[in-house]
Amino acid sequence: MIANDSDYGSDYNSDGEHSLPDEAFAASLAGFDRMTVNRLNVLLALLSPAQAFAVAAGHEQPRGLVRQLFALEGLADAWRQSALRRPPEIVYEQCLSAGVAVLIRGRDGFPLPLLNDPAPAAVLFVRGDLARISGRRVGIIGTRNATSSGRDTATMLGRDLAALGVHVVSGLARGIDGCAHRGAVSVANGAAPLAVVASGLDVVYPREHAALWQQVAEQGALISEGPPGTVPEAYRFPLRNRILAAFSEVLVVVESRSSGGSLITVNEARDRGILVMAVPGALRNRASEGTNALLGDGCPIVLNVDDVLIALGLDSRRAGGVAYDPRPRPSAADTELLDALNEPRTLDHLVLVTGQSLVDCAMGLARLEADGWVQQVNGWFEAAADSALYGFRSPT
């Protein structure tokens, strides 16, 4: 347990002189109060996990872009309290006891489909074996309040795709999601299923899916952004949906109402250039209002598994063992901005450094941030750490 600063000095110094792996510190940070996806990405892009924990715990002074995080009222105190409640050694032991692996973005084992995502996860928790998810991937989603016809269709698609060697990706929710995975796990020696959930991997939700969770973990993998003990709060489901979309090469919507979580996932898929397909339903079936509207907007129709296989064959950008980057390449002017962001700068400072106009700088930064090339905290901007992979200078 971390009791005070002197204890920290002997156990968790930032020079790496501690007995814990980086995964322990990353797992602890992922469960901090007021820790967002963006804040965790900033911390772990610019600091080692041990350094990030030391700064968040208040044992080291933040610098550069990280320092801007602490300008948020109450954040420093919330993180100090979280560090006391979440000692890395205790959190990591919880992971090991639950059979949960901790994956850090950019490290070995982190899934390639998520590596260059516009809203990447900084830390992931996995039960099962992600290495089994090595072939083509199709997401199957839909309403929790599915009709018997919708449930049958989801089960059939999940079963047939798994039998044909296609990994079924879904969210293990009630209704369409659960049926798709039941179909996938029913196939002997079929393609491994992948489930993306909104709670800790030791917190089964919904509870009636406990046996299905176990089957998916044994045959494929369960994945979450939440460390063990994370409860399925409402805000976590839309966050989960972006990961589900990013894992999919094609997203199939079986039944969906006119609004709801399924359409959030649809939007996440479209933002990533992922093909969305839909199963038609009866005109008076409320559970098909959303899918029929998608078809009316031009989404390809799914009448059987062959329709999905054809779509997979037409788009192989996300297949194989190479990380696919969906981000648009910056223009020459925007690349100039990236080159200037080798350290935290404000908009006004960028205008002085680059000689671009205020309007051009502001618009360029907006594009770069939206496309995932730039991180911004409280008006301070810095190039994303992975920009060096594409010929841009990384933060120093």
Q: Identify the pLDDT of residue 315.
A: 63
Which has the closest alpha carbon to 249: 164, 169, 194, 366?
169
In a domain, 280, yes or no: yes
Looking at the structure, do residues 228 and 377 belong to the same domain, yes or no?
A: no
Residue 87, domain member (yes or no): yes
Helix (H, G, I), strand (E, B) or coil at 277: strand
The pLDDT of residue 390 is 42
Of 64, 97, 130, the one marking the end of a domain is 97
Q: Does 348 lie in the same domain as 205?
A: no
Greatest CA span in the chain, whole angstroms? 68
Residue 327 counted as domain residue: no
- Which of 247, 111, 239, 252 has its CA nearest to residue 177? 252
Residues 203 and 290 in one domain: yes
pLDDT at 387 (0 to 100): 54
Q: How many domains does the chain have?
A: 3
Which of these three, 97, 123, 142, is where a domain ends?
Answer: 97
**195 and 302 fall within a common domain:** yes
Same domain, 287 and 140: yes
Residue-number span of the structural domain to which 73 is assigned: 5-97
Q: 283 and 142 in one domain?
A: yes
Burial of 339 (0-12, 13-18, 19+ CB in 10 A): middle
Q: What confidence score (pLDDT) does residue 19 get? A: 86
Residue 384: the pLDDT is 78
Structural domain ending residue among the three candidates 288, 314, 340? 314
Q: What is the pLDDT of residue 314?
A: 65
172 and 41 housed in the same domain: no
Does any domain span residue 104? no
Tell me the two tokens of residue 203.
């917190």
In a domain, 324, yes or no: no
Do 15 and 142 reside in the same domain of the chain?
A: no
- Cis bond upstream, residue 206 (ω within 30): yes
β strands within 61-128, DSSP E: 101-104, 123-128
The answer to whether residues 131 and 271 belong to one domain is: yes
Q: What is the pLDDT along the chain (396 residues), one digit of tens a residue?
A: 333 333 333 345 444 456 899 999 999 999 999 999 999 999 999 999 999 999 999 999 998 888 888 988 999 999 999 999 999 999 999 999 999 999 999 999 999 999 989 899 999 999 999 999 999 999 999 999 999 999 999 999 999 999 999 999 999 999 999 999 999 999 999 999 999 999 999 999 999 999 999 999 999 999 999 999 999 999 999 999 999 999 999 999 999 998 878 999 999 999 999 999 999 998 888 899 999 999 999 999 999 999 999 999 866 666 665 566 777 788 888 999 998 988 888 999 899 889 999 999 999 999 898 888 888 877 888 887 665 444 444 333
SS3 for 124? strand
Residue 106 within a domain: no
- Same-domain check for residues 27 and 79: yes
Helices (H), the chain: 5-11, 22-30, 37-46, 49-56, 64-69, 75-85, 88-97, 112-115, 148-163, 176-185, 210-219, 236-247, 261-271, 289-296, 305-314, 332-340, 347-354, 358-370
151, 273: one domain: yes
What pLDDT is stored for residue 298 in this prediction? 95
For residue 156, give both structure tokens.
């059939």
- Tokens representing 322 are 């190479």
396 inside domain: no
26 and 130 in a single domain? The answer is no
Asked if residue 320 is part of any domain, the answer here is no
Question: CATH number, domain at 355?
Answer: 1.10.10.10
CATH number at residue 132: 3.40.50.450
Note the pLDDT of residue 317: 63
